[in-house]
């Protein structure tokens, strides 16, 4: 058990221990391993990337399809004492520039954006100048369901990740899948290290 991870969990989220399945995902991320985790609804999937995000040195980018989801997540994180922000069309250009300025200065550990933001010049410049520890795709079934026509920016996420500076330690893909009548969630964490291999938990 990673004591620092457990302490981070307790400090920010108020839990003494991880739920079933969470700890192995967190530990695998911190070990720089590629991870595919399939978890049921309500299993605490967000903590699987939020805890490592707080422990890693850089910024975690979370790609989310809906403004309301971003706002809810950021509100919950801020209430937990975690500096997080969202950048989307609900903000003015001056607010976006200010958020990126603060992020570049180390203000935020987690930033939520829409996939279209990854094609924005100002955001691309920001991403090239800071340390990105993880890129997380929330509701990643949208990549296949929307990426071909409705929101083509989803299929360009891989280009964004490939163009990150080599110093970026990890990329994380978070996926929400519906299988039959039971909603399932999976997370895919890709390590930037060439020697890493896929690890299922």
Q: Going from the N-terminus, what domains does the chain have, and what CATH number goes with each?
A: 3-200 (3.40.50.300)
- Among 9, 29, 26, CA closest to 191: 29
**What would the mean pLDDT of 29-45 be, rounded to a whole number?**
77
For residue 52, the model assigns a pLDDT of 93
Q: How far is C-alpha 103 from the geometric centre of its chain's CA atoms?
A: 15
End-to-end Cα distance, the chain:
15
- Residue 35 CA to residue 38 CA, distance in Å, equals 10
For residue 193, the model assigns a pLDDT of 45
Confidence of residue 181 (pLDDT cuts 50, 70, 90): very low
Between 131 and 142, whose confidence is greater? 131
For residue 92, the model assigns a pLDDT of 94
For residue 194, the model assigns a pLDDT of 38
For residue 174, the model assigns a pLDDT of 52
- Min mean pLDDT across 58-62, 87-91, 156-160, 170-174 is at 170-174
The structure tokens listed for 90 are 């609900």
Q: Given a cut of 80, is residue 199 above it in pLDDT?
A: no
Mean pLDDT of the chain: 79
Q: Given a cut of 90, is residue 19 above it in pLDDT?
A: yes
**What would the mean pLDDT of 149-177 be, rounded to a whole number?**
66
Q: Given a cut of 70, is residue 175 above it in pLDDT?
A: no
Between 7 and 37, whose confidence is greater? 7
Q: What are phi and psi of 97, to 5 degrees?
A: -60, -40
Residue pair 34/196 in contact by the 8 Å Cβ criterion: yes
**What would the mean pLDDT of 8-24 be, rounded to a whole number?**
94
**What would the mean pLDDT of 182-199 be, rounded to a whole number?**
45
For residue 107, the model assigns a pLDDT of 95
Confidence of residue 163 (pLDDT cuts 50, 70, 90): confident
> What b/e string do you get for 119-158 counting C-beta neighbours within 10 Å, with b at 16 or more?
eeeebeebbeebebbbbbbbbbbbbeebbeeebebbeebe
Is this prediction's pTM over 0.85? no
Q: Given a cut of 50, is residue 63 above it in pLDDT?
A: yes
For residue 150, the model assigns a pLDDT of 56
For residue 160, the model assigns a pLDDT of 87
């Amino acid at each position: 058990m990673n004591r620092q991870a457990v302490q981070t969990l307790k400090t920010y989220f108020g839990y003494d221990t991880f739920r079933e399945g969470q700890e192995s995902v967190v530990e695998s991320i911190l070990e720089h391993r590629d991870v595919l985790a399939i978890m049921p609804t309500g299993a605490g999937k967000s903590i699987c990337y939020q805890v490592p995000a707080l422990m890693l040195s850089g910024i975690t980018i979370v790609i989310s399809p809906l403004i309301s989801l971003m706002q809810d997540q950021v509100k919950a994180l801020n209430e937990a004492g975690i500096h997080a922000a969202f950048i989307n069309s609900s903000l003015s250009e001056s607010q976006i520039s200010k958020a990126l300025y603060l992020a570049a200065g180390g203000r935020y550990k987690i930033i939520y954006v829409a996939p279209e933001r990854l094609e924005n010049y100002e955001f691309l410049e920001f991403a090239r100048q800071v340390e990105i520890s993880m890129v997380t795709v929330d509701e990643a079934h949208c990549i296949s369901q929307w990426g071909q026509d409705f929101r083509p920016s989803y299929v360009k996420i891989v280009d964004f990740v490939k163009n990150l500076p080599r110093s970026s330690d990890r990329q994380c893909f978070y996926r929400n899948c519906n299988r039959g009548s039971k909603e399932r969630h999976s997370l895919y964490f890709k390590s930037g290290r060439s020697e890493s291999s896929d690890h299922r938990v």
